[in-house]
Amino acid sequence: MVAASTASSSTSGESDPTLAHRVLCVHGHAQSAEGFRQKTGGIRRQCKRLVHFEYDITSSFLQGPFEVPPDDVFASHDPDSEKTYTWIDPKKESPVKFIILCGAFFPQNNSEQEAEIRACPLWPKVRAMFICGKSDQVVAEDRSLRVAKMFTDPVIFEHAKGHMVPAEARKDVKTFVQESLESE
């Protein structure tokens, strides 16, 4: 595994920036990048020899919300130029090796948006892990499990707590990341 062979013996709790694998962290709707970074500290420490999490908030922990062009901008485009409008060519192998979703959900009362999300050809090809709280009052567990059905054999980590990434998830996340990198 490339990532393990390039890891340093850092004891600071930070990952090695020379690692080949990087993790893009995108915070939730009502969070900030810094808040999400702090809440995932245990997972970052657990995985520090496997993948690199950038500590520069502007490069790895993206700060939303983001402006997206209205649908009509894309409505009349030439189908031959479609990949100009996408960040990934669905015919090629995905650069995304795995995805970990905490409190994931489809937009409420918007079946059109949900259909667009489901139509992405990336989902069946990517390993996925879902972290779901049984007593989550922000995103009900069944909403996350509905998203999980888009993926082939998703790993589900259920916990009794609410809308959070519990400490008990650390080892499961590390195992998931290791297996995802080894299956390349």
Q: Same domain, yes or no, for 37 and 121?
A: no
The answer to whether 108 touches 138, Cβ cutoff 8 Å, is no
pLDDT in tens, 76-93: 555 554 544 455 565 666
Whole-structure pTM value: 0.71
For residue 4, is pLDDT > 80?
no
Q: Same domain, yes or no, for 23 and 59?
A: yes
pLDDT at res. 131:
92
Q: Same domain, yes or no, for 105 and 164?
A: yes
Q: Same domain, yes or no, for 122 and 182?
A: yes
71 belongs to a structural domain = no
Lowest model confidence (mean pLDDT) among 15-19, 74-78, 138-142: 74-78
Q: Same domain, yes or no, for 56 and 110?
A: no
**pLDDT band with cut points at 50, 70 and 90 for residue 173:** very high
Q: Same domain, yes or no, for 50 and 139?
A: no
DSSP string, 3-69: HHHT-----SSPPPTT-S-B--EE--TT--HHHHHHHTHHHHHHTTTT-B----TTTTEE-------
- Residues contacting residue 48 through CB under 8 Å, at least 6 positions apart: 7, 10, 13, 14, 15, 16
174 belongs to a structural domain = yes
- Residues contacting residue 26 through CB under 8 Å, at least 6 positions apart: 61, 62, 64
Helix (H) or strand (E) holding 158: strand 155-159
Q: How many domains does the chain have?
A: 2
Q: In what order do the strands lie in the sheet with 98-102?
A: 98-102, 127-133, 155-159
Q: Which domain holds residue 10?
A: 1-65
Q: Same domain, yes or no, for 158 and 114?
A: yes
pLDDT at res. 158:
92
Q: Same domain, yes or no, for 59 and 97?
A: no
4 belongs to a structural domain = yes
Q: Same domain, yes or no, for 134 and 54?
A: no
Q: Same domain, yes or no, for 44 and 116?
A: no
pLDDT in tens, 30-87: 777 788 888 888 888 899 889 887 655 555 555 666 666 655 545 555 555 454 445 5
Q: Same domain, yes or no, for 22 and 97?
A: no
